[in-house]
Structure formats: structure tokens, C-alpha cells
Amino acid sequence: MKASKSVNTLIDVIVPLCILLGCQIVCSIVYMSISFATGAMDKDNWNPKASDFMSQVTGVVSPALAIASVVAIILILVWKRIRHQVIVGELATLRTSFPRVLLLVFGVFLGIYATNVVSEIIDLPNLAEDMFNSMSLTVMGFISIGILGPIAEEYVFRSAMLGGMLKNGVGQWTAILISSAVFGIIHGNPAQIPFAFIVGILLGLLYVRTGNIIPCIVCHVINNSFSVYLMSKYVDQPDITIADLMGVDTLLPIMLAVVAAGGCYVIFRK
């Protein structure tokens, strides 16, 4: 029985992850090949030393990721239908009242704020900063990072991965921590990994408490869209912090983050 549960847990983690990564890799290769074949991109100028290399990368990554997100959502729905005979159940039901859902969503944003402040204090290397800044300046980049990407990630990490483990008898906290750890690691960027891990826990709790993927999607889309907006607005100030935006000393955001973390705990406790 234990071996069977372990195998099922691996399946619920690996398959959704492979669907997401596979879609991103295949769509990127196909989009780039079509762009080169049609002359939309100049293959001779495709090199890291080119002055417009980052804009070329953005021109490929943004639409490729948008397409990959749509394909991944479709495949995840098919996978859930095959694996658990479920597609729309988690869209039509709520395990709690609507006012409580709003309170839980508020708790998620409190947690996101607190995590943002801590991330700024730790100040880990941001290896994808240039690419994200470049993508934030385009409409397709905004759609990819701010809308379609978050929707696909919620279906992969919360609906398929977390939901799948829960249906196979994995404990709630074990399932939340596993899906959140994979969610953090898959970002592959030191500046994002701890943040994504904590946010993954918050979204996992929201999913478990509500039994519905929509609140998770709403939170994720708003967070990413707002981040893209800030990146585009302060593209010339990549090191700007929450304290800078608030026009106050760093101590105040830290104090507010502590209060936010406490509030988040109170909201999400049983």
C-alpha cells in the first residue's frame, strides 16, 4: 500500500511538471523554427553579442510561453479527466462561504506582501532580471507573464499536482509542501525560488480551504500582472524596493510585513 501511494505521488508530481516543461520547450523550438523559416527573424543576427539580442529573445520567449501555457492548460484538463475523471468540479463548487473566500484571498495578499519584503531584505541574485524587464515592455510579454502563465501554473501545481496528491490520500500539508517546493524550484532563479515556495504554500492553502482553483488563479494573475506593471514602470530602476515605493524607511515595511504574516496566520488557521 505504501509503495502504491509513493508511486501515485510521483506520478501526480512528475506528469503535470513534464506537461508544463514539455509544452514550453516544444513551443519555443517550433516558434523559433517557424520564425527563422518565414524570415520573421534573422538567423544570422541571432547571437548573444548582437545589440538587440535581448529583444530577439523576448520576441521568441513571450509568444512561445503564451502558446505553451494554453496548450498546457488543455493537456492538464485531459490528464485530470484520464487520471481522476475530473474537469469542472473544482470550478463549480466551494467548500466554504463566499465571504470567507474573500477573507482567504485577502490573507494570501497579506502573505505575498510579507514575502516580498523578506525577499528584498535577503536580496538574492536575479538571473532573469533583464529578460523580465524586456518582456514587461511588450503586450505579449504582459499576457504571457501576467495572465496565461499564472493560469497554466495554477492548473499544473495546484489543480493537477496538489489536487492529484490529495485524491490519492497524501496528507494535506505533505501535498502542499511538495507542490510548493516544486513550484519554487521550477522557477530556477535564486531571487524567485524562496518567494515562489512561500506563495505556493499560501495558494495551496487557499486551494485546500476553498476546493476551487478560481481564487488561486485570481490571486496569481493579480500578483504577476502588478509585478509586470511595476517592472515596466520602473524599468530604469530595477533595484527599487517596497520601502522606496512607499517613500518611507525600510523599518516600516518590515513592521507591516510582521503584522501581515500574523494576520495571514490568523486568517488561514482552522
Structural domain boundaries, residue 196:
2-268
Q: First and final CA of the chain: distance in angstroms?
A: 30
Task: Specify the pLDDT at position 74.
Answer: 94
Tell me the pLDDT tens digit for each residue of 7-16. Answer: 889 999 999 9
Quick one: what percent of the chain has pLDDT higher than 90? 60
Tell me the pLDDT tens digit for each residue of 28-76. Answer: 999 988 888 887 676 666 666 665 666 777 878 899 999 999 999 999 9
Q: Of how many residues is the chain composed?
A: 270
Residue/partner pairs of 3-12 with CB below 8 Å, 24 or more apart? 5/168, 5/169, 5/170, 8/165, 8/168, 9/165, 9/168, 9/170, 9/178, 11/83, 11/164, 12/83, 12/160, 12/161, 12/164, 12/165, 12/168, 12/170
Place of cell 506582501: 113
Of the candidate ranges 81-90, 124-133, 137-146, the one whose mean pLDDT is the lowest = 81-90
Residue 1 has pLDDT above 50, yes or no: no
Tell me the pLDDT tens digit for each residue of 94-114. Answer: 888 889 999 999 999 999 999
Measured on CA atoms in the order 172, 112, 73, 182, is the torsion positive or negative? negative
Mean pLDDT (the chain, rounded): 89
The residue ranking higher by pLDDT, 247 or 12, is 12
Residue 90 has pLDDT above 70, yes or no: no
The residue ranking higher by pLDDT, 219 or 128, is 219
User: Residues 232-239: what's their mean pLDDT?
Assistant: 84
How many domains does the chain fold into?
1
pLDDT-derived band of residue 165, with 50, 70 and 90 as boundaries? very high
Residue 155 has pLDDT above 50, yes or no: yes
Q: Hey, what's the cell of 71?
A: 496548450
CB 242 within 8 Å of CB 116: yes
Residues 6+ apart with CB under 8 A from 140: 62, 63, 66
Q: Residue 52 class from Cβ within 10 Å (0-12 exposed, 13-18 middle, 19+ buried)? A: exposed
